[in-house]
Structure 1
Amino acid sequence: MRQHLPYRFSVAFLLLVCAFLIAQLFFTTQSTATASGAEAALAQSGLVPRFIDFDIGAATVRSGASHQDSIPDLPPYVALPNSGYPLTIVNFTVPPDFATGNDFVARVLWSTNTTPCFYVLKAELVGYGPGHSAALYDIYWPGSTTPADEGIIQATTAYNTQELIITLRPYASFPTYPGDAMTLVLTRDAGDINDTCTSYILLRSISLTYQGLTSYMPFVSKSP
């Protein structure tokens, strides 16, 4: 009988190992299914930042603003002179993944060749779409918790490109919907007493960030 004990022990041990592996596989499968379900739910309702870039060389310019592209090796820019109300305009259609009720955030790269000084900039975002009123936005400048149409921007270093972040927040009951036609206007108020820059303000680029619904991401598998 003794010579059979090792064999019986080996069989029992193998059966125990198999049972353990089957249990591990079952719980791993259940855990993966639960995690996948949670990820799918997040994908259906979550938000991720999306971006809209504008070609500054194609932006509309009015009231004295001009395009400068005379140097072939450098990218174009928009010049806002130190007189009147020069402005630039960019237009876009709200993307289909836009989450209604969320902000747009504008990022403007700019420079000037006179410092130290301040310039006054006005921002306006307005939109129109079928079946609802015009979309209006409050403007929030860096460091401010109170909306204002105009901001006083400090130029600290001559010729160095600086960044300006402007938060555009939906106003009251005037929301924006996917497919709406939008217009962003940036105007220099050169006649304002607070505008002390004696030269051009050069706008190098304009871009927008918004919150997009992850359910529009092509690589997300939607639940039936």
Structure 2
Amino acid sequence: LPEVEVICQGLQPLVVGKAIVSAGCSGQRLRTFQGRLTGWDLEGETVQAVCRRSKHLILVLSRSMLGLHLGMSGQLIWRAHNEPMPIHTHLWLYFSGHRLDYVDPRRFGDLKRLERPAGLSAGELVAGLMQGDWDAWLSPGPLGAEPLAQGFSADLLFQASRGVQQAIKPWLMRGHVMVGVGNIYASEALYAAGIHPNRPAGRLSRARYARL
């Protein structure tokens, strides 16, 4: 999650307000993406907002929403439009004078598009995305609370963990209670809080969750 949030914040001033001149893809499949942009009609779309939900990056366009998951090795690279395209580039979006490349050597990431609902502004769509209104589109499983969002608290974790026998580390990483925590962040946070990663989540006190 921290890496995707940094990418999101870095991408916003580069693409928001800019129109996509043309788009293309490698033809190779990703996790659910079939390697085709047939029917996506991205040319002429304007980027109205860039946001993040869990580990998913979302481009809110004028007619649709484009969801990207970087997986283990994915990168988004902003470069001059005439620079050579690197190997393993699976999506490219041309803007005036620049190109946005999605590069993923291991192809563990994903791309998906959703027709934009009528009557909702870009701001309303971003708010809905952050509240989980579009989670079923982004993820096959439920997505939990955003740890960077207002209102997130230790009490939320404490209450959700009652009766849970699963070890705390994999429970945190599942993403159904709190999103965006992977192996490294779970290990470091538990170590810093003095919590053994194999301890059942339901046996931690409220004070322990506050430290976590």
Alignment TM class, shorter chain as reference: under 0.3
Between 1 and 2, higher relative CO (CA 8 Å, sep ≥ 6) is seen in 1
Pick the structure with more strand per residue: 1
Normalising by structure 2, what TM-score?
Answer: 0.28
Pick the structure with more helix per residue: 2
Normalising by structure 1, what TM-score?
Answer: 0.26
